[in-house]
Amino acid sequence: MMEQKEMTALNPSVGADEEQSNNEHGNSITDYGEKCNSFEANYENDFDFDYQNLDFDEEYVDTITMNELYNSVYGLKPPIVEGLLNSGVYLFVGAPKLGKSFLMAQLAYHVSTGIPLWKQFPVRQSTVLYFALEDDYCRLQRRMYKMFGTETTDNLHFAVNSHHLGDGLCEQIQGFINRHRDTRLIIIDTLQKVRDVGSDYSYQRDYEFIAAMKEIAEKTGVCIILVHHTRKQKSDDSFDMISGTNGLLGAADGAFILQKEKRTSNKATLDISGRDQQDQRLELVRNAENLTWELVKAEVELWKEPPEPLLVEIAKHITPDCPKWQGSPTELCDFLGVNLKANALTMKLNVNAGRLWNEYGIRYQNRRSHSGRVVELALNQT
């Protein structure tokens, strides 16, 4: 059988957050359409199959090679709460009347004000939308005053009603984000309140519900938390106690499980699991005076990614005295004084562009010009 060429097409990544955008003519957006030969040209008549009659739209599979993958720049969205919460869709689950809404109000307040959560989890200050669908404004007023006194913020928005998922909820969320472009956290309390009326709770429907929320989160870079209840049956794995089918947890990016050994106790554990974060267990205690949750201890010390030497070297050179640099990859190697080949340098930067921005506030761009490849580094000075 003769050697066959593999057809490849770049599958564009989810758009980066505003912190790291892809240049139109950059290394990260290469037009592979012209490089793809037709299906018939790549496959000869060595097979006992009629390829002339194939439906190419259904049979063709978009792929990207490892080399193309490394030569693309994908923005890394900064966490909403460092070590706890990233962009995406999360479940926050616990038994009824356990204090979930108080913890959600606490999280919303800290993100909206920029005050670190429990003094050790830095937050990314942003606008927050809290759908408190089991409350009214009077109860919310008393709760927030009890918890935080008169220290208020314009960045925290409350709603006590919403549409259902199939009846305009996504449009409501998108409309709010359009009006408040710095929105990074949306809390829906509770999930049951926005389910379509009369829908069956099959695995497929549960999965589709989360998928609809994920589409918004991926498109806008926000984090959506869905508050939900546990089932009555006990389990050795706390995440098996999430009410509904496995479709909820299977589609979500992560989950929080709040549990008490005794309902009358003011102590609780918060188990955390997610796709792109370390599993954790936090021990919490409820403050009897202001009803906020306080951190007692974390059972697992968070693993921190070690510094990347190349990024450290860039941060030494891109400073307020020298906030911008532009040149070829080879010139960048000389500028930094690193012993790397030019293509290896750009690949490392392509992969670590998000870290360079999040950790050092330096924007990286890699684009093609008439004279060759151009790299640009710029310090954020806002």
C-alpha distances (whole Å) from 342 to each of 58, 123, 254, 345 are: 40, 36, 38, 5
Identify the pLDDT of residue 237.
55
Q: What is the tens place of the pLDDT at every residue in 149-186?
A: 999 999 999 999 999 988 999 999 999 999 999 999 99
**Domain segments of the chain: what residues?**
33-77+306-379, 88-298
- Residue 295 to residue 100: CA distance in whole angstroms: 15
Q: Are 128 and 111 in contact (CB under 8 A)?
A: yes
302 vs 111 pLDDT, higher one: 111
**Residues near 117 by beta carbon (within 8 Å), at least 6 away in sequence:** 81, 84, 106, 107, 110, 123
Identify the pLDDT of residue 24.
38
Given pLDDT bands bounded at 50, 70 and 90, which one contains residue 136?
very high
Single pTM value for the model:
0.75
Identify the pLDDT of residue 232.
59
- Residue 342 to residue 29: CA distance in whole angstroms: 19
Q: What is the tens place of the pLDDT at every residue in 239-287?
A: 555 655 676 767 788 899 999 888 888 999 999 988 877 889 999 999 9
- Residue 189 to residue 87: CA distance in whole angstroms: 18
- Residue 315 to residue 360: CA distance in whole angstroms: 7
Q: Are 318 and 304 in contact (CB under 8 A)?
A: no
Identify the pLDDT of residue 319.
95
What is the average per-residue pLDDT within 324-348?
A: 94
CATH number at 88-298? 3.40.50.300
**Residues near 69 by beta carbon (within 8 Å), at least 6 away in sequence:** none
- Does residue 99 have a pLDDT over 90? yes
The dihedral over CA atoms of 98, 102, 108, 110, expressed in degrees to the nearest 10, equals: -110
The dihedral over CA atoms of 140, 145, 150, 156, expressed in degrees to the nearest 10, equals: -30
Strand pairing class (277-286; 88-94): unpaired
- Does residue 361 have a pLDDT over 80? yes
Instruction: Provide DSSP, 143-181.
Output: HHHHHHTT---SSEEEES----GGGTHHHHHHHHHHH-T
Given pLDDT bands bounded at 50, 70 and 90, which one contains residue 126?
very high
